[in-house]
Amino acid sequence: MERKKQEVTTVKVSKMSAEHYIWGQVCDGWHLVKTGELSIIHEKMPAKTSEARHFHQKARQFFFVLAGHATIEVDGKIILLGEHEGVEVDPGVPHQMMNPSPEAIEFIVVSSPASHGDRIAIE
């Protein structure tokens, strides 16, 4: 029995041409991969900014710092992340990315499945 070859489409991805959005009024995000199964976003947070504390019902996330030093709270535990360090967050676990430093930070957020529409804010 002969197997059909699946067509593979290879597309170069660049932050410069990726879909851009602004969140938290001053933070930037660039969708590098945006499918229902996978989301990869390059994010930039200016000094002294933070996202709202929240959790995702289905999405597992991985945060990886590219530049600067980030602080992330995961289920009540504060984790300091330097350049080229990351942390995984399971579905249902409250978390909050923060940048208390005087300089901007850049990081990658990988979500599987995609976290769009899956975010529950915690007051």
Ordered domains of the chain (ranges, CATH): 19-121 (2.60.120.10)
pTM over 0.95: no
Cβ–Cβ < 8 Å for 84, 46: no
- pLDDT digit of tens for each residue in the chain (123 aa)? 566 677 777 889 999 999 999 999 999 999 999 999 999 999 999 999 999 999 999 999 999 999 999 999 999 999 999 999 999 999 999 999 999 999 999 999 999 999 988 999 997
